[in-house]
Structure 1
Amino acid sequence: MMKLRHHDRYDYVPLRGRTPYAWPNGQRLAVYFALNLEHFSFGEGLGAELAPGGPQPDVLNFAWRDYGNRVGAWYLHDAFDALKLPMAALVNSAMYDYAPALVAAHRARGDEIVGHGRTNAERQGTLTEGEERALIAEATERLAKEEGRRPDGWLGPWISHSHLTPDLLAEAGYRYLLDWCMDDQPIWFRCRGGKRIMAVPYPQELNDIPAIVGRKMGAADFADTIVDQFDEMLQLSRERPLVMGVALHAYIVGQPHRLKHLRRALQHILTRQDSIWLTTPGAIARHCEALPAGIVP
C-alpha cells in the first residue's frame, strides 16, 4: 500500500473532541491583527505585484510597495491608534536600515515585534541548511539589537519553508511560528533533537495579499469577509477556543479607499470587545505554553 510522504511535524487531531480550554477572562475567541513591515530590493528579487512586472528596474511595483512604508502604514497607525487596537508588527530586519521610524512607532505603541526574515525580496526555503540558519541568525540578531530582546515568533518571507525550517527556528530559540494556516487553534510541532515549536494560526483567507492581489477582491468585499469571519467564529467559539488573525500589508489596505472599509470592519469587531480577547500571537503562544500538558495537540 502506497504511503504518502508526510512532514511528521504533527498528527491528525480533529477539532471536534479536543480538550476545551479558555483564553484569559474566560473568553473563547482570540483576535489579533498582524501588519507586515517589508522592504524590497530595487531592481531585483521578489515582491507582490500591482500589475505584471516589466523589465527591471520595475519602478511601478517597487514604488507601489514603497507607498506602504512611506504613507499607508502611517494611515493604519492613525486608524488603530484611534480605536486603541493592538498590532503585531512582522518585521523584515532590513526595515531598520530603510524605515527605522516605522518600526519605532510600533515599539512606542507596545506592539509585539515578530521576526519576518531579512527582506521579502527573497525566500528562505530555497537555501541550504547553513544558508537558512545564517538568514535566521542575521534577522534575529538585528531585531534583538534594536528591540532589546529576541523575538518570540517568526513568519517566513513569502511563507517560505524548507524541510528543516521548524527545526532551525526551534534551535534558534523561537517559541512559535506563524507560517501554517491549517488550524484555528495553536498546535505543537515536533522538531529534531526532542525540541518543539508552537504553530499559532495565521490567516490566508483574512490576508489582503491573497484576497485583494490574488483574487482581485474589492475593498468592501474584503472588509465584509473580516466581518463575516468574526461573526461566525464568535458563534463557533462557544464550543471551543479559537484564534482569528487578520494579516495586513500597508501598501494594500493602507490605500485610503481600502482603509475606509477596513476601519468599518475594525469598528464592527469592537462592538463585541467585551466578548473577545484582543491580543497578539505571542500572547496566544505564551497562554498555550502554560496550559497543562496534553491540552494543546
Structure 2
Amino acid sequence: MKLPGQDRYAPSAIVSRPDYAWPNGSKLAVLIFTNIEHHAFRTGLGSDSAVPGSPQTQRNYAWRDYGNRVGIWNILSTLDALGLPAAHNCNSTALDLMPEIGRALVARGDEFIGHGRTNAERQDGLWEEDERRLIRESRDGIAAHAGTAPRGWLGPWLAQGPATLDLLKEEGFDYVMDWPADDQPFWMSTRAGPILSIPYSIELNDSPAMVFRQHSGRQFADMVVDQFDEMLEQSRERPLVFSLVLHTFVVGQPFRLRPLRAALNHILGHRDQLWITKPAELATHVRSLPRGIVPGSELLPPG
C-alpha cells in the first residue's frame, strides 16, 4: 500500500543531527509573534469567542476588530515595558485600515511577516495564478507600511496549496512558518531553490488554546512556563527554538495580560541563557551555518 506523501523535506530525527549554537553561544532561541488580522464583515472565515464555527456576525467581527483598536496596543505596551522584540504576522488589509499599527511596529524595530490579505480567506484551493496574486498583493501591501518587503510568510489559517512554497520562493520570501514539524529550523525544496522552515507553534498559541480549547489566560500562562522550562532543559543537548504566538484580539484582552506578563517575566529571569531574536535574524544565522548542519542544507548551492 502506498500512501500519499510529501517531497518537500526528508525524514530527520532531532537526536541524530549535528550540534550547533545560536550567535551569542546560547542553545535556546526565543521568538515572540503577534497576529494582526482583518476579517470581512458578516462573511468569509473567522473565529468566534464563544462558539467554534459560529456564523459571521457583527458581534464576532467587532470582537476581532478589538485586536486592532485596543489589543495590539496592550500587547505592545507590555513588550515595551519588558524590552522584548517581536515579529508580527500581518494581514495587509489590517495595516491599510489602521496605519498607526505599521508606524508603531517600525518605531519598535520589529519584523513584519506576510500573512495574506485578510484572514477572511484561505490560499489553498486557489488557481496558482490567483494564489500568486494574493501573495504579491500581501507582500507589496505590507512593504508600503514597513518600508521593505517581508522576508517571511505565514499563510492565513496556516493554509498552503500544492505550489505555495514554490510561489513564495519565486516572490522573494526566505522562510515560512506553515509547517510545524520541528523545534529546529530545516530547509525545504521548491522549484526555485530551498526555502527555510522556522518553528512556529500551533500549541503554544493563544487562539487554539483559548478560543477553541477554552483554556483560561492563567492556564495558557502555565503552558508558556512549562514549555519554556522544558525546552531550556532540553537545549542543553541541542539548539532549539521556543516560539510564542499571540493574537491581538485574544491575549490583548486586559485580564489575560497579567498572567502573560508573569510568564514573560519568568522567561526573562533566564535571559543570559537565551537568544531573544526575530525570525529573519534567525534565518540569516541558519543560512551562515556550514552545509550538513541543518536538515535539508544539502539543497543549498555550494559556497
Contact 1:22 1:28 in 2 (8 A): yes
Match of 1:64 in 2: 63
- Secondary structure at the aligned position of 2:92 is classed as coil
Match of 1:86 in 2: 85
Residue 243, structure 1, aligned to residue 245, structure 2: no
What is the percent sequence identity of the aligned residues?
52
Aligned pair partner of 1:220 in 207, 213, 218 = 218
- Using the TM superposition, give the Cα deviation of residue 55 of structure 1 relative to its aligned residue in structure 2, in angstroms: 5.7
Distance 1:54 1:220 in 2: 25
Match of 1:208 in 2: 206
Task: Letter of the 1:136 partner, please give it.
Answer: I
Q: Deviations over 1:39-79 (max 9, x none)?
A: 111121111111237665x0110011011111111111111
Contact 1:95 1:103 in 2 (8 A): no
- Using the TM superposition, give the Cα deviation of residue 102 of structure 1 relative to its aligned residue in structure 2, in angstroms: 1.2
Match of 2:299 in 1: none
- Secondary structure at the aligned position of 2:15 is classed as coil
Q: Deviations over 1:13-58 (max 9, x none)?
A: 10011011100111000001000110111121111111237665x0
- Secondary structure at the aligned position of 1:24 is classed as coil
Residue 161, structure 1, aligned to residue 160, structure 2: yes
Which ranges of structure 2 fall in alignment gaps of 5 or more residues?
A: 296-303
Contact 2:22 2:29 in 1 (8 A): yes
Distance 1:70 1:147 in 2: 19
Distance 1:281 1:70 in 2: 26
Distance 1:83 1:145 in 2: 29
Q: 1:253-264 alignment to 2 at 5 Å?
A: 253-264=251-262
Contact 1:153 1:175 in 2 (8 A): yes
Match of 1:133 in 2: 132
Q: Deviations over 1:194-236 (max 9, x none)?
A: x110000000110001111111111111000000110110000
Q: Deviations over 1:147-198 (max 9, x none)?
A: 22111100000101001111110111110001111100000001114x1100
TM-score normalised per structure 1: 0.97
Which ranges of structure 1 fall in alignment gaps of 5 or more residues?
A: none
How many pairs align? Answer: 294
Distance 2:203 2:129 in 1: 33
Match of 1:73 in 2: 72
Contact 2:111 2:278 in 1 (8 A): yes
Distance 1:54 1:23 in 2: 43
Distance 2:211 2:172 in 1: 34
RMSD, aligned α-carbons: 1.1
Distance 2:156 2:126 in 1: 13
- Secondary structure at the aligned position of 2:9 is classed as coil
Structure 1 segments of 4 or more deviating over 3 A? 52-56
